[in-house]
Amino acid sequence: MKVNPLHLIKSLLVEFNTDKTGSLAIYDSQFIKKFVDDPNFPFLVSFPRTGSHWLRMVMELYFEKPSLVRVFYYKDCQDYLTLHTHDMNLDIYRKNVIYLYREPAPTVYSQMMYEKEDTRDLERVKYWSTLYGKHLAKWLIEETETEKKTIMRYENLLKDMATEFSKVTEHFEMQIDADKLQRATEKVSKEEVKKKTAHDPQVINRSGFYEISRKEFLQNNSELIGDLVLEQNCQLQQYFI
């Protein structure tokens, strides 16, 4: 199954703003099309709220090269490392992919808060759980068109950044520079992410209410969300051990 490049470009260009103090959105569709049309150009795929802003910022500092379509640091660069997409319609298939995923229950909570939905609405919890389950099933197990795929887990980045990030450097056939990675990681604090995502203030939510609500949500819904995710493909269990 192939996706129409023009459809992909349209789905990527949700943001047209430029924030001089934060980040820069690339909105030239013809420019982006050059990369989309290259079947070997790497795509970074992640469901929303799985840590992609943070990872892209670290990658940009480490490789000294930004990702499309939002640039955080190297705004004059004309060479790009990856193209990031959420693949919400599950219609993107590429040869070269880095896939980032995260524990389902925190992802669903974060997405519902981002969308300003009622986290007590069981139908919406089920909706997002099922959609994320389909996303995980596609990219972790079912799709067969990717020839070069690297899978990364958000929790592993938090636990052991160097080991997990080395998967990215290996993807680009490079040895990891631990000191350079440490400098990049130290720079990309939550405050830094918030500053660089001023175009979307909801990217980082650090309120006390958020954390209290999150804890309650996870207590009440983690089992349900896990079951709904596994309903999409029981083989997903191995990715959450």
Q: What confidence tens digit (pLDDT) does each residue in 109-134 have?
A: 999 999 999 999 999 999 999 999 99
Please say if the pLDDT value at position 191 is more than 90: no
Question: 189 by DSSP, 3-state: which?
Answer: coil
In percent, the amount of the chain with pLDDT more than 70 equals 86
Banded pLDDT at 16 (limits 50, 70, 90)? very low
What is the amino acid identity at position 141?
A: I
Q: Do 144 and 240 form a contact (C-beta atoms < 8 A)?
A: no
The helices-and-strands tally (H runs, E runs) of the chain is 10, 6
Q: In this predicted structure, what is the pLDDT of residue 22?
A: 76
CA atoms within 13 A on the CB side of 114: 16
Residue 229 has pLDDT above 90, yes or no: yes
pTM for the model: 0.88
- How far is 9 from 22, CA to CA, in rounded Å? 23
d(CA 45, CA 232): 19
Q: At 190, is the pLDDT very low, low, confident or very high (cuts 50, 70, 90)?
A: confident
Please name the residue that has the structure tokens 């089920």: 126
Cβ–Cβ under 8 Å, residues 102 and 49: yes
Lowest-confidence segment of 49-53, 157-161, 175-179, 202-206 by average pLDDT: 202-206
**Domains present along the chain, CATH in parentheses:** 5-240 (3.40.50.300)
pLDDT at site 75: 84
CB 225 within 8 A of CB 131: no
Whether residue 198 contacts residue 19, with contact meaning beta carbons closer than 8 Å, is answered with yes
Least trusted range by pLDDT, from 118-127, 178-187, 193-202, 210-219: 193-202
What secondary structure letter does DSSP report for 90?
S
**Residue 24: pLDDT over 60:** yes
- DSSP E strands in the chain: the ranges are 24-25, 43-46, 70-71, 83-85, 96-101, 148-153
DSSP label at residue 179? H
Span 157-176, pLDDT tens digits = 999 999 999 999 999 999 99
